[in-house]
């Protein structure tokens, strides 16, 4: 059994994605679902990094274990970088992927394909009980299509086209997504530090 590593999220899609990305490392992956008493963290930071660090440190404080948190979202150039840090709650509370996607499509209705450029950005924070902190970032460039495509993934994946592949994130296999996604790239950047810390 490896070192306990708490993924500071209750989003089962995100936890499963991170669990796959952590496969092969000597860590026992848990999530906040394993700690039902853990308090909700208000994600009120102005940047993905602020939110990721806040969530990771809160999970460490509650569990006493190493914790990993990410904050990620969609930045659409024609919308001035929106929804950005508000991606999960773009259409308001409670958070709802279908309503978020519908709002995005409505806002981009008059925007031509060549101006629908966007990126997924992810910041991952790893925090330790001794005050340790590592922060890494990953991003992937794409374009917003005009209708939902694909049944995989979650969030804005069915609208986010990877132009080189001609497929949306929701049309990728889980293995392809883990390799190409913003979260996959951030986790790849963090993998070296994780191996150094947890392979001892």
pLDDT more than 90, % of the chain? 75
Query: Do the bridges between strand 27-31 and strand 66-76 make them parallel or antiparallel, or are there none, so unpaired?
Result: unpaired
- What are 43's two structure tokens? 């994600």
pLDDT more than 70, % of the chain? 98
pLDDT tens digits for range 84-118: 999 999 999 888 999 999 999 999 999 999 999 99
- Please, what is the average pLDDT of the chain? 93
pLDDT tens digits for range 170-185: 999 988 988 899 998 9
Tell me the catalytic residues.
Answer: 71
Return the domain boundaries, the chain.
3-198
Please name the fold of domain 3-198. Maf protein (3.90.950)
Tell the residue number behind the tokens 């904050």, with chain if given.
71
Question: Which of the pair, 3 or 82, is modelled with greater confidence?
Answer: 82
Give the chain's length: 200
Question: Which of the pair, 142 or 187, is modelled with greater confidence?
Answer: 142
Per-residue pLDDT for 125 more than 70? yes
pLDDT tens digits for range 84-93: 999 999 999 8
Per-residue pLDDT for 198 more than 80? no
Per-residue pLDDT for 1 more than 60? no
> What is the reported pLDDT for 143?
98
Q: Distances in Å between the alpha carbon of 85 and those of 2, 8, 121, 190?
A: 33, 17, 10, 21
């Amino acid at each position: 059994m490896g070192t306990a590593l708490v993924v500071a999220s209750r989003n089962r899609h995100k936890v499963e994605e991170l669990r796959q990305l952590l496969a092969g490392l000597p860590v026992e992956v848990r999530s906040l679902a394993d700690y039902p008493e853990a308090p909700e963290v208000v994600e009120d930071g102005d940047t993905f990094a602020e939110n990721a660090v806040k969530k990771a440190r809160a999970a460490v404080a509650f569990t006493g274990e190493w914790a990993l948190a990410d904050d990620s979202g969609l930045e659409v150039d024609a919308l001035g970088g929106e929804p950005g840090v508000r991606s999960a709650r773009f259409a308001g509370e409670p958070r709802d992927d279908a309503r978020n996607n519908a709002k995005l499509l409505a806002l981009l209705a008059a925007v031509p394909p060549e101006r629908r450029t966007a990126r997924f950005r992810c910041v991952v924070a790893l925090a330790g009980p001794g005050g340790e902190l590592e922060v890494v970032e990953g991003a992937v460039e794409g374009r917003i299509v005009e209708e939902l495509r694909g049944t995989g993934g979650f969030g804005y994946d069915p609208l986010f086209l990877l132009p080189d592949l001609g497929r949306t994130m929701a049309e990728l296999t889980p293995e392809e997504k883990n390799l190409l996604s913003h979260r996959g790239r951030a986790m790849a950047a963090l993998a070296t530090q994780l191996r150094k810390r947890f392979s001892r």
